[in-house]
A and B are shown apart, each in its own frame.
Chain A
């Protein structure tokens, strides 16, 4: 009985199809990329191509910064808002961090904290635009993202800033530390953060209030919740997380680049993965877990095409196509909801007659 219950729960879980897709993709990539099909010994599956240490570290490293961004974005989306400037904020804080590392003799931990505060200030700026001046968050943040990307380039006229290994050895070690040559320590940190945010969403009164405000902010306000205050927190939280993500990226690559984060499209990937993973674009539902599984699917898919030597252009095309389909499905669902609501109100009115 107990066993059957567990199985039915797994089958009903919204993330299950995504997890299945993820596993299948991993297996296919593993087999094809290792060259087993071309006569390599079976043991090559675990040492070459997809499962090689270098490739896995590459995937996990990108997931670290994206995981941090995701915790902020998923909360914002559930609250019925969006921030399209996360990559810009992450990139700018990364540049400022590297610049301060180079120009000052402060310990990197202090500079790190300064940059987190800077992230918070960027978050306050977004709140000012959206909460106070009532800009739609979509427009306000897409504009800010250009501002940040521009600032990154202005700072160094487009050059990268290296982190000196001699001066900030422990910072670099932090980014490079790994277990068994394939699992970065920072990825474990990211997973802990993801779990913490999932707990905030599902187990705290704040999480509950967030879902209600995102589902219908008018009704939530008339029931004594404070959607404005929650929204302010969401933007602040989101920007701080984006800043931390950007800084960890610097420690992984020992440099800050004005373009590597801001124009990588990784923020777009995070938003799309959230929606693909079941977060409603208009707020009110979704979870971190589902979103992160979807993010892994996107990243493995991209990596699969890479290790199979598909040309970059096709990769961009294919990921784009997947995202449009995912967003399309969400849109159709939203429409269906809207119609259900309409039908409900009409039938309610007819009942009266």
Chain B
């Protein structure tokens, strides 16, 4: 569809006969584009514009509706510096016309540049409203972090016996990642912090052989490895519990049993048939080890709670047929209730005590800071810092996560 049709979507002008009035549409669209001071042809298909201009078309559409309130949700993400400047001028113009602008962003600098007032939300709750002119960046970060860490973490039995380097990632790059380097030791919990889209999940996927690597090296126990698919990574001793349990982690409408044995199913042959006894034994052990609440191992995983689903995945990666050396957990506590979270934390510590090296990716800062031995902070595909546990504060990690 063309630019003008997009701007007037849902309110296309009509002639007296009720037909579509292309001339009037063209004139009115040109008028709006001129008002915005942009150089866009109203007849051009939107698909052919660059992303910044597409964004502008969206904004013109909102403007055309004559709304009193216009909300921008992370509008600058795809834009370049120059385009951001144009956008800010536009926002000022809207403000002068008396419109209310809501601006959602995780870029603190921008917030201070365009806003008059800042509303801080945390975990879905309202924290406070700040006057931009009377606030500093540090104050804002403090409000965002909040102070409500219970003693869940204090009671954890941690592993204090960290061994040799198991996994070494050296200048790893691909479409998203740029020169990511870090070391992971036996029995260590290495936290990964950063904003959504910082590239943490991509690091996990690249190590696990899901996404291709363009340059850099991964060394497992000193030997360079490059996995073409997750199967190879698993056989080498790397396991990944993906962020999206329901679509990437579990086969929801199959049983706990089937889900637990999935990576080792090939080894469960007895003659030409599957060894059902062995299979049942493995599944039962997982249920027992992680006290998964279920009447039977034949229950479908879709019928379990989030916490128990996560335990099924942990059971899968730590069953006795597996040789897991590196366990990557991507947002393991997402969508899990508070009680189950504490259980997962202890389980992760226990796994570390058994000598498994854990990569712990989480968007909950408190979690990473309290659980991890070292924290890798990422920003836009790069590592902006590695913070040891003793020096880790939320302010410090957040500052690194937002550093430009």
Listed in ascending order, the chain A residues whose CB lies under 8 Å from chain B are 199, 203-205, 207-209, 211-212, 215-216, 218-226, 284-285, 337, 340-341, 344-345, 348-349, 351-353
Complex Cα gap A226–B272 (Å): 19
Q: Are A345 and B335 in contact (CB-based, < 8 A)?
A: yes
Contact A211 B229 (CB under 8 A): no
Note all chain B residues with C-beta closer than 8 A to A207. 274
Q: How far is the CA of A218 from the CA of B242 in the complex (A)?
A: 11
Contacts of B305 in A (CB 8 A): 348, 351
Q: Is the CB of A205 within 8 A of B274?
A: yes
Q: What CA separation (Å) do A353 and B336 show in the bound complex?
A: 9
* Across-interface contacts of A220 in B (CB, < 8 A): 251, 262
A351 and B229 in contact (CB under 8 A), knowing A204-B272, A222-B210, A224-B262? no
Of B73-81, B160-168, B263-271, B394-402, the segment with at least 4 beta carbons within 8 Å of chain A is: B263-271
With contacts A215-B254, A216-B251, A284-B253 taken as known, whether A225 is within 8 angstroms of B274 at the C-beta atoms is no
Provide the residues of chain A in CB contact with B263, threshold 8 Å. Answer: 223-225
For B235, the chain A residues whose CB sits under 8 A away are 224
Closest-by-CB residue of B relative to A344 is B302
Chain B residues closer than 8 Å to A203, beta-carbon distance: 273-274
Q: Is the CB of A353 within 8 A of B251?
A: no
B251 touches A221 (CB 8 A): no
Using known A-B contacts A205-B274, A225-B262, A285-B253, determine if residue A352 contacts B336 with beta carbons closer than 8 Å. yes
In the complex the two chains form, is A284's CB within 8 Å of B124's CB?
A: no
Instruction: Give A302 Cβ to nearest chain B Cβ, in Å.
Output: 33
Complex: A222 Cα to B218 Cα, angstroms: 19
Is B240 interfacial (CB 8 A cutoff)? Answer: yes
Contact present for B252 and A215 (CB under 8 Å): yes
Chain B residue nearest to A345 in the complex (CB): B246
CB contacts (< 8 Å) of A225 on chain B: these are 231, 262-263, 265
* B contact residues, range: 35 or more
Q: Could you tell me if B250 and A226 are in contact, using CB atoms closer than 8 angstroms? A: no
Chain A residues contacting B268 (CB-CB under 8 Å) are 205
Q: Which residues of A contact B338 (CB under 8 A)?
A: 352
Does B248 contact A219, Cβ atoms closer than 8 Å?
yes
Contact across chains for A351 and B254 when beta carbons are under 8 A apart: no
Q: Please measure, in the bound complex, the distance between the C-alpha atom of A208 and the C-alpha atom of B249, giving whole angstroms.
A: 17
Q: Known contacts A226-B231, A348-B336; can you find 11 more A-B pairs with CB under 8 A?
A: A203-B274, A211-B251, A212-B258, A215-B253, A219-B249, A219-B250, A222-B208, A222-B240, A337-B253, A341-B246, A344-B302
Q: 4 tightest A-B contacts by CB?
A: A215-B251, A348-B335, A351-B337, A348-B306
Chain A CB count within 10 A is highest, among B335, B336, B338, for: B335
A284 to B251, CA, bound (A): 9
In the complex the two chains form, what is the Cα distance from A222 to B248 in whole Å? 7
Contact with A216, one of B240, B250, B269, B316 (Cβ below 8 angstroms): B250
19 contacts between A and B (CB under 8 A): A199-B273, A207-B274, A212-B259, A212-B265, A215-B253, A216-B247, A218-B248, A219-B250, A219-B251, A222-B230, A222-B249, A223-B263, A224-B231, A224-B235, A224-B263, A225-B262, A284-B254, A348-B305, A351-B337
Residues of the B chain whose Cβ atoms lie less than 8 Å from the Cβ of A208: 258, 261, 265, 274
Q: Does B359 contact A (CB under 8 A)?
A: no
- Which residues of the partner chain A approach B262 to less than 8 Å between Cβ atoms? 209, 212, 220, 223-225
B247 close to A205 (CB less than 8 A) = no
Distance, CA A341 to CA B253, complexed state (A): 9
Q: Within the assembled complex, what's the spacing in Å between the Cα atoms of A348 and B336?
A: 6
Q: Are B316 and A223 in contact (CB under 8 A)?
A: yes
Residue contact B252 to A341, C-beta cutoff 8 Å: yes
In angstroms, Cα B261 to Cα A208, docked, is: 10
Which of B234, B251, B266, B274 has most chain A Cβ within 10 Å?
B251
- CB proximity to A under 8 Å, residues B215-266: 229-231, 234-235, 240, 242, 246-254, 258-259, 261-263, 265-266
Cα of A11 to Cα of B210 in the assembled complex, Å: 45
Please give me the residue from chain A that is nearest to B316 by CB atom.
Answer: A223
Closest CB in chain A relative to B232 CB, distance in Å: 8
In the complex, the answer to whether B274 meets A224 with C-beta atoms within 8 Å is no
The minimal Cβ–Cβ distance linking A227 to chain B, given in whole angstroms, is: 10
CA distance A203 to B272 in the complex (A): 8
Which residues in A have their C-beta under 8 angstroms from that of B337?
Answer: 351-352
Complex Cα–Cα for A211 and B255 (A)? 11
Q: Which chain A residue shows the least CB distance to B275?
A: A205
> What A residues does B247 contact at CB under 8 A?
216, 218-219
**Which residues of chain B are within 8 angstroms of A221 by Cβ–Cβ distance?**
229-230
Residues of A within 8 A of B252 (CB): 215-216, 341
Which residues on B sit within 8 Å (CB–CB) of A215?
251-254
Given A341-B252, A351-B336: A209 in contact with B302 (beta carbons within 8 A): no
A349–B337 Cα distance when bound, in Å, is 8
Query: Smallest distance from the beta carbon of A200 to chain B beta carbons, Å?
Result: 9
Q: Which residue of B lies closest to A202 (CB)?
A: B274
Could you tell me if A222 and B242 are in contact, using CB atoms closer than 8 angstroms?
A: yes
Q: Chain A residues near B273 (CB, 8 Å)?
A: 199, 203-204
Complex: how many Å from CA A294 to CA B98?
69
CB contact list, B327-347 vs A, under 8 A: 334-338
In the complex, how many angstroms separate the beta carbon of B235 from the nearest chain A beta carbon?
A: 7
Bound Cα distance A219, B316 (Å) = 12
Of all chain B residues, the one with the shortest Cβ separation from A203 is B273
Contacting residues, chain B, for A344 (C-beta < 8 A) = 246, 302
Contact of A353 among B124, B249, B261, B274 (CB under 8 A): B124
Q: Which residues of A contact B229 (CB under 8 A)?
A: 221, 226
Instruction: Encode contact with A along B36-51: 1 for CB under 8 Å, 0 otherwise.
Output: 0000000000000000
Complex Cα gap A64–B335 (Å): 51
CB proximity of A6 to chain B, nearest CB, Å: 19
Which one of A205, A349, A353 has the greatest number of beta carbons of chain B within 10 Å? A205
CB A212 to nearest CB in B, in angstroms, measures 5
Chain B residues, CB < 8 A from A224: 230-231, 234-235, 262-263
Min C-beta distance of B268 to chain A, whole Å: 6
- Chain A residues whose C-beta falls within 8 Å of the C-beta of B230 in the assembled complex: 221-224
The CA-CA distance from A223 to B251 in the complex, in Å, is: 10
For residue A23, give the distance in angstroms from its CB to the closest CB of chain B. Answer: 30
Set of chain A residues within 8 Å of B242, measured between Cβ atoms? 222
Chain B nearest Cβ from A152, distance in angstroms: 38
Residue of A nearest to B252 (CB): A341
Residue of B nearest to A340 (CB): B302
Residues of A within 8 A of B335 (CB): 345, 348-349, 351-352
Candidate in A211, A216, A353 with the most chain B CB atoms within 10 angstroms: A216
Partner of A205, one of B249, B250, B266, B306: B266
Q: What residues of A have a CB within 8 angstroms of the CB of B231 in the complex?
A: 224-226
User: For A216, what are the chain B residues with a Cβ–Cβ distance below 8 Å?
Assistant: 247, 250-252
